[in-house]
Amino acid sequence: MDFDMGKRAGDLRRELRELVAEQVPEHFLGAFTHDPADLETAQRFCRTLAERHLLCLAWPQEFGGGDASVWEQTVVREEMWAAHEPRGAQYMGVNWVGPIIMRHGSAEQRRRHLPPIAAGEVIWCQGFSEPEAGSDLASLRTFARPDGDGWLVSGQKIWTSYATMAQWCFLLARTSRIGEGATTKKQQGLTIFLVPMDDPAITVRPVGTMLGPHHLNEVFFDDLRVTGADVLGTVDAGWSIVQDVMSFERVGIARYARCERLLTAAPAVLGERWDELSDELRGRWIRMLMHCRRARLLAYRVVALQDSGRVTPGDAAAYRIAVTKLDQDSAEVLMDIAAEVRRTDARAGWFLGEVEDHWRYSQASTVSSGSIEMQRILLSRAMLAGRT
């Protein structure tokens, strides 16, 4: 049940931890706060990683990467999430936007989009969910109607993270209605467009939540002009790309690393008072550490399958269920432990800030990136298909 990633992985972890200690303030709680300095910290840190070819470590060198293994990239994911993701929103471009463009993009799209991602110079957002098409994404209504040599896109997206700071949007829209031509199912007739967020036809409205600014937004498209050069892959065949996106996106977030970091820090923060906690609370704490290991092993399994090209929606769903439940369950345990922390204790401020932020984020974890109910449906279908 133990994975040895080799000496290179150990050296890489030390290098990343040293960089975080040198360049990221101790009380950094992510790039998405009201303080512009936090976003600048993340952008500056990304440029440092890019200069050392660590930002897109597993990418091919021709696209600005380091030609490293997927396991070394997994180390980067874990260390970044354990340190409160000092890459900010860049993980989206690194983990799935870039790899998806490598797989499905034209030579011009690769030339245009991959170098800025590898250099940490651009932020992407994802234009998928809509007010009436969240978990049932294929029911979306944003429509691209033909216009000369291109299309005019109109519609609304919601829950769009980072839309206020992003330069580009990975947009899913319907290009053929059901019943038109060969489009007989709602998963057909969908197309991916790569569009600049500074286009005047795009309006962004932040959605206020306890998660803080930048996390959730509404995005409106009012006759956004797009052409064939903006299409990723093939017109009307975007659903297969969406499935690819989901498998990359759901594994790329190593939140178990942050859960484990906070859980293992708890005894040191409480010091002698740790032994005064109830047996019931310490028992829950131990169970959460076990669940961290379970989520980690599931992540490693999917990474291995992904590397071999054999990952399925069921594989990604199993990991997603485990890590989102870990998020919420560990947050409850950590909040109970935090209630016993004296603010005069060493590192108390850091621990309490981290735990509160973790709890806030965990409340949405079973809804974001596909609800846990949909993940269970995907996993059930995969299990039933395996029995037939």
**Residue ranges of the domains in the chain?**
7-122, 126-237, 254-387
User: Would you state the pLDDT for residue 9?
Assistant: 86
State the burial class of residue 108 (Cβ atoms within 10 Å of its Cβ: 0-12, 13-18, 19+): exposed
What confidence score (pLDDT) does residue 213 get? 66
Do residues 65 and 56 touch, judged by C-beta distance below 8 A? Answer: yes
Q: CA–CA separation, 379 vs 36, rounded Å?
A: 40
Q: What is the mean pLDDT of residues 280-302?
A: 94
CATH number of the structural domain 7-122: 1.10.540.10
Cβ-count burial 235-255 (b if 16+ within 10 Å, e if not): bbbbbebbebbbbbbbbbbbb
Higher local confidence (pLDDT), 173 or 1: 173
pLDDT digits (tens, 9 = 90+) for 17-73: 999 999 999 888 888 888 889 999 999 999 999 999 999 999 999 998 889 988 899
pLDDT of 325 above 70:
yes
The third-level CATH classification (topology) of the domain covering 254-387 is Butyryl-CoA Dehydrogenase, subunit A; domain 3 (1.20.140)
Among 304, 333, 310, 321, residue whose Cα is nearest residue 365: 321
Task: Quickly tell me which residue has 């354990």 as its tokens.
Answer: 82
Percent of the chain residues topping a pLDDT of 70: 94
Q: What is the mean pLDDT of residues 369-381?
A: 77
Mean pLDDT of 295-323: 82
| pLDDT band (50, 70, 90) for residue 382 | confident
Q: What is the mean pLDDT of residues 284-311?
A: 88
What mean pLDDT comes out for the span 145-149?
95
Beta strand spans in 229-281 (E): 231-232
List, for residues 189-213, the tens digit of each pLDDT value. 999 999 999 999 999 999 887 776 6
CB 252 within 8 A of CB 295: no
Residue 388: its pLDDT value, please? Answer: 43
Phi, psi (deg, nearest 5) at residue 174? -90, 130
Q: Tell me: the pLDDT tens digits for 215-266?
A: 789 999 999 999 999 999 999 999 999 988 876 766 667 889 999 999 999 9
What does the chain come to in residues? 388
User: Following DSSP, what letter does each residue of 317-333 receive, concatenated?
Assistant: HHHHHHHHHHHHHHHHH
Its sign, for the CA torsion 168, 252, 239, 217, is negative
Residue with tokens 């052409």: 227
Lowest mean pLDDT, pick from 180-189, 230-239, 305-314, 354-363: 305-314
Task: Output the pLDDT for position 346.
Answer: 60
**Domain 126-237 belongs to what architecture?**
Beta Barrel (2.40)
Share of the chain above pLDDT 90, in %: 61
pLDDT at 15 over 90: yes
The partner residues of 144 in beta bridges, in order of sequence, read: 153
Distances (CA, A) of 276 to 246, 271, 340: 44, 10, 10
Tell me, yes or no, if the pTM score tops 0.85.
yes
Q: What is the mean pLDDT of the chain?
A: 89
Give the per-residue pLDDT at 243.
Answer: 85
